[in-house]
Homo-oligomer: A and B are copies of this chain.
Amino acid sequence: MTQVTGPAAVDVEKPEDGITPPSRFDTAAVGELLLGRWAAIRRESRRLAGLPELAGIGGLTMEEHRERVSAQLKYLVDSGSVHRAFPAELGGEDNHGGNIAGFEELVVADPSLQIKAGVQWGLFGAAVLHLGTREHHEKWLPSIMNLEVPGAFAMTETGHGSDVASIGTTAVYDPAAEEFVINTPHRGAWKDYLGNAAKDGLAAVVFAKLVTLGVDHGVHAFYVPIRDAQRNFLPGVGGEDDGLKGGLNGIDNGRLHFDSVRIPRTNLLDRYGQVHPDGRYTSPIASPGRRFFTMLGTLVQGRVSLDGAAVAASKVALAIAVKYAAERRQFNAASELEEEVLLDYQRHQRRLLTRLATTYAASFAHEELLEKFDAVFSGAQDTDADRQDLETLAAALKPLSTWHALDTLQECREACGGAGFLAENRFTALRADLDIYATFEGDNNVLLQLVAKRLLADYAKEFRNADFGALARWVAAQAADATLHRTGLRQVAQAVADSGSGRKSASYLKDENTQRQLLTERVSTMVREVAADLKRASKLPQAEAAALFNSRQHELIEAARAHAELLQWEAFTRALPGIDDGDSRQILTWVRDLFGLGLVEKNLAWYLMNGRLSAQRAKTLGDYIHRLLQRLRPFALDLVEAFGYGPEHLRAAIATGAEQQRQDEAADYARRLRASGSAPLPEKVARQRDKAAARLKQDLA
C-alpha cells in the first residue's frame, strides 16, 4: 500500500457515520477472482508471454518481425499451448473456454504473435473444426495443429468486410469432374487483409457462394490449397502483399484471387451443407438465412478472444501508468521542498482511476462471456437461444472493451508525458497493434447495431403474443411513466427528498439498486422509444422504411452501448460477493460505484431530460465521484497489482522503480546541498539581503 502525500492527503471529506475506512486490500484474493475459472491456464500462458523469446521487439523491419513471429508460432506448438480447443483424439483437450483464456494472454507478449496464432488455430483451424466433419478433421487438423500447413482465413473481400453475405467469390460445382471451381469475378471480390496470405500460407479456408445445378446456396467454406511446398502460388491462384500496416506488422496480411481454381467436391467443409456427387444440395438447416448465421456463429470465438485481449492490454497499460504516477513528482503545491506526486492530483486520478474502474468491469464481464462461450461450445448449454445470446453478448462487449483499450493506452501514454512516447515504455506499440481490434472480427459500430436489432426484436417479441388487453395496459403504464418523467414530477420529489443535503444524495447514488435502476431504465426507455418510432416501418415501402430506420441509427447504436455498459456493471456487481475479505470488498465496491456513477455522469443529460435525476442530485454527482477517487487513491497500486502482471509482462522502463530512484537521488542531492551551506541564494532572497545591507550602510553613514 502507498503512503499518501501531497495535496490530496488533506482529507476534505467527513468520515461517514459508522463506517471504518478499509485499511488493506487483498491483492492475492482479488487477483484470483480476476483470473477466473481458467486461472491455471492463464498462469501458464502468462508464463509463456513473459519469456524473452516470445516478447515483441521494437524497431524490427516488417520482414524481420514477420520472421520472428513465424518462429514464435513454432515455439507455441512445441509448448503445447495452442491445441486446447482441438479434439482430444487428435491431441487436443476439447477445452474451448480454457483455449481462449490462454490465447488472450498472448497479447501481453506481442499482439502480432497473438493474432498470427489466432489466424492459424482460431480462424483457419477452427473453420475446419467447426464447419468441417470428422473426415476433414482427420485429414487436415493434424498438419494445421503442428503448423506444417499454415493457412489463411479467406472470408473478407476488398469490397465486403462486415457484410459477409454479399461477398462475390463463387464456387460452382461441376458434377462431371466432381469438383468445385473457385472464381473471383472482379477486383472488389479479391480476398483481402488475410493473415498468412502474403507469405506463409499453404492453404486457405475460402468463403464463397456455393452454386450447384444453377442454384446459389449462399456462402459456404472450402478448403483450398494455395501454394506449393516452394511457396509458389498454385495454378489459378494469385495475390499480393497488403504491405505495411499501422500495427501487427509481424503478420503477413495479403490478398488472394482465384481464376478457375478446381478443388475436389470433398473440400467443401460440409457440416451445415452437403453437395452430393450428382450436384444435389442438402442441409440440416432448411432456412438459408439461419444456415448462414449458424455457420458464421461458429466463429464467435474471435470476438470473444479480442474482448479478453483488449482487457489484458488495458491492465498492462494501467499497471505501468499507475506505477509511474505513484513515483513521479511535478510542480510544488503543498510545500516548497517537495513536489507533488502525480497520482495525488485530482485530474490525474480522474484520468487513470476511472479507466481502472472500467477495466475491472470489462474484466468481470469478459469472464462471464467466456463462461457462456464455453457452455455453448462444450455442448453443455447449446440451444439456438444460447448461441444467439452468446453472439449478442460478444457483439455487445467486444466494441466496448476494444475502444476502451485504445482510450486507456492513449490516456496512459499522455499521463506519462514524453516518457510515454518512448517505445521502451510499451504504450505506443500496444496501441498501434490494438487499433485494428476496433474493426476486425466485426466493425464495432456494426456489432453494436446488431445488438440493437436484437434488443428491438426481443422488445417486439414481448408483445407478439400479448392480447389487446395486455398491450393496452402496457401502453397505459408507459404513458403514466412518460407523464411522471416528462413533467418532471419525479424530479420535484427528489428535490424535496434531498432538501439540499449532499449526504442524502450521496447515499442515494452509492446505493446498488439506484445504480441498477438508473442504468436499466435508460436501456429500456431508449429501446422502447426507438421501437415506437420504427413501428410504422413495417408498413412502408423498402426505401422509406430504410430511411426511417437510418434516421434513428445513431440512437439505436447508443441504446446498444447503454445495454453493453449495463452488462458490464451487472457482471462487476455479481463478482463482488466473490471476495470474502470485507475491506477488499468495500474497496472493490467503490471501484464498482466509480464505474457505475461514471456511466451516469457520462449520460447525465439523458437522466435529466428524462426526469430520472433531479438537477439537485445531478449536481452532487461530480463531487461524489471525486470523493471516490480520493478514497481509492491509497489503493491504486494494489488495484493494478491485482491484475497479476509482473515486470516480465510490463517490460516498461518507467515501471521498474527507476523513477523513484531518480526522485530519491534528486531529493538527496537537494538535501546535501542545503546541508553544505554552499547552496546559491535565490535572487529574490539575495536582493532582500542587499537592500537590508544598503539600508544598514545608510543608517551607519
Give the B-binding residues of A (Cβ under 8 A).
6-10, 12, 58-59, 61-62, 156, 158-163, 166, 168, 172, 185-189, 192-193, 209, 211, 214-218, 242-247, 281, 288, 330-336, 339-340, 344-347, 350-351, 406, 410, 413-414, 417-424, 427-429, 431-432, 435-436, 438-440, 443-445, 449, 486, 488, 542-544, 546-555, 557, 601, 604-605, 608-611, 615, 618-619, 622, 626, 661-663, 665-666, 669, 680-684, 686
Instruction: Check A245 against B683 for contact (C-beta < 8 Å).
Output: no
Chain A to chain B contacts (Cβ below 8 Å), 15 pairs = A12-B548, A161-B418, A162-B330, A162-B417, A166-B332, A186-B666, A188-B666, A245-B422, A246-B421, A246-B428, A414-B439, A414-B443, A418-B436, A608-B608, A609-B618
A407 nearest in chain B by CB position: B410
Instruction: Check A547 against B188 for contact (C-beta < 8 Å).
Output: no
Instruction: Check B554 against A626 for contact (C-beta < 8 Å).
Output: yes
User: Given known contacts A214-B681, A438-B414, is B334 in contact with A547 (CB within 8 Å)?
Assistant: yes
Instruction: Check A554 against B61 for contact (C-beta < 8 Å).
Output: no
Instruction: Check A161 against B330 for contact (C-beta < 8 Å).
Output: yes
Instruction: Check A188 against B421 for contact (C-beta < 8 Å).
Output: no
Contacts of A406 in B (CB 8 A): 410
A682 nearest in chain B by CB position: B216
Q: Looking at the assembled complex, report how far the CB atom of A275 sits from the nearest CB atom of chain B, in whole angstroms.
A: 12
Q: Looking at the assembled complex, report how far the CB atom of A537 sits from the nearest CB atom of chain B, in whole angstroms.
A: 11
Instruction: Check A427 against B246 for contact (C-beta < 8 Å).
Output: yes
The 9 closest A-B pairs by CB, nearest first: A246-B428, A604-B605, A10-B547, A244-B423, A333-B546, A216-B680, A7-B550, A608-B608, A7-B546
Contacts of A6 in B (CB 8 A): 546
Instruction: Check B334 against A156 for contact (C-beta < 8 Å).
Output: no
Interface core residue of A160, A243, A339, A346 (most chain B CB under 10 Å): A346
Contacts of A488 in B (CB 8 A): 488, 615
Instruction: Check A418 against B609 for contact (C-beta < 8 Å).
Output: no
- Taking A7-B547, A192-B418 as known contacts, 18 extra A-B pairs with beta carbons closer than 8 A to each other, sorted by chain A number, are A6-B546, A10-B543, A10-B546, A158-B419, A160-B330, A161-B417, A162-B331, A166-B331, A186-B662, A187-B662, A188-B665, A214-B680, A246-B423, A288-B682, A288-B683, A414-B443, A488-B488, A611-B615
A440 nearest in chain B by CB position: B418
Instruction: Check B414 against A550 for contact (C-beta < 8 Å).
Output: no
CA distance A461 to B21 in the complex (A): 42
Which residue from B218, B336, B429, B615 sits with its C-beta under 8 Å from A246? B429
Interface core residue of A172, A488, A609 (most chain B CB under 10 Å): A609
Instruction: Check A615 against B626 for contact (C-beta < 8 Å).
Output: no
Which residue from B8, B288, B440 sits with its C-beta under 8 Å from A547? B8
User: Given known contacts A428-B246, A439-B417, A684-B288, is B350 in contact with A554 (CB within 8 Å)?
Assistant: yes
Contacts of A333 in B (CB 8 A): 546, 549-550
A contacts with B: majority SS: helix
Contacts of A669 in B (CB 8 A): 168, 185-186
Which residue from B158, B209, B543 sits with its C-beta under 8 Å from A7? B543
Contacts of A246 in B (CB 8 A): 413, 421-423, 427-429, 431-432
Contacts of A420 in B (CB 8 A): 439
Contacts of A608 in B (CB 8 A): 604-605, 608-609, 615, 618
Instruction: Check A421 against B445 for contact (C-beta < 8 Å).
Output: no
Instruction: Check B551 against A681 for contact (C-beta < 8 Å).
Output: no
A187 nearest in chain B by CB position: B662
A329 nearest in chain B by CB position: B159
Contacts of A331 in B (CB 8 A): 162-163, 166
Q: Looking at the assembled complex, report how far the CB atom of A362 sits from the nearest CB atom of chain B, in whole angstroms.
A: 19
Which residue from B423, B424, B554, B681 sits with its C-beta under 8 Å from A216? B681
Q: Looking at the assembled complex, report how far the CB atom of A70 sits from the nearest CB atom of chain B, in whole angstroms.
A: 18
Contacts of A193 in B (CB 8 A): 418, 421
Instruction: Check A215 against B683 for contact (C-beta < 8 Å).
Output: yes
User: Given known contacts A216-B680, A543-B7, is B605 in contact with A551 (CB within 8 Å)?
Assistant: no
Which residue from B161, B188, B422 sits with its C-beta under 8 Å from A243? B422
Which residue from B335, B542, B663 sits with its C-beta under 8 Å from A335? B542
Contacts of A557 in B (CB 8 A): 347
Contacts of A8 in B (CB 8 A): 547, 550
User: Given known contacts A162-B330, A288-B683, A615-B609, is B418 in contact with A428 (CB within 8 Å)?
Assistant: no
Interface core residue of A547, A555, A611 (most chain B CB under 10 Å): A547
Q: Looking at the assembled complex, report how far the CB atom of A615 sits from the nearest CB atom of chain B, in whole angstroms.
A: 5
CA distance A615 to B609 in the complex (A): 5
Contacts of A217 in B (CB 8 A): 683
Which residue from B58, B351, B553 sits with its C-beta under 8 Å from A346? B553
Contacts of A444 in B (CB 8 A): 414
CA distance A22 to B605 in the complex (A): 33
Instruction: Check A243 against B334 for contact (C-beta < 8 Å).
Output: no
CA distance A144 to B547 in the complex (A): 61
Which residue from B186, B339, B431, B554 sits with its C-beta under 8 Å from A163? B339
CA distance A443 to B186 in the complex (A): 50
CA distance A245 to B420 in the complex (A): 9
CA distance A637 to B419 in the complex (A): 40
Interface core residue of A242, A610, A615 (most chain B CB under 10 Å): A615
A492 nearest in chain B by CB position: B488
Instruction: Check A439 against B421 for contact (C-beta < 8 Å).
Output: yes
A340 nearest in chain B by CB position: B546
A189 nearest in chain B by CB position: B666
Interface core residue of A9, A215, A410 (most chain B CB under 10 Å): A215
Contacts of A242 in B (CB 8 A): 422
CA distance A193 to B215 in the complex (A): 65
A420 nearest in chain B by CB position: B439
CA distance A446 to B607 in the complex (A): 32
Contacts of A332 in B (CB 8 A): 166
Which residue from B281, B418, B548 sits with its C-beta under 8 Å from A439? B418
Q: Looking at the assembled complex, report how far the CB atom of A497 sits from the nearest CB atom of chain B, in whole angstroms.
A: 16
Contacts of A216 in B (CB 8 A): 680-683
Contacts of A549 in B (CB 8 A): 7, 333
Which residue from B244, B424, B611 sits with its C-beta under 8 Å from A58? B244
User: Given known contacts A214-B680, A418-B193, is B347 in contact with A554 (CB within 8 Å)?
Assistant: yes
Instruction: Check B543 against A335 for contact (C-beta < 8 Å).
Output: yes
Contacts of A336 in B (CB 8 A): 542
Contacts of A427 in B (CB 8 A): 246
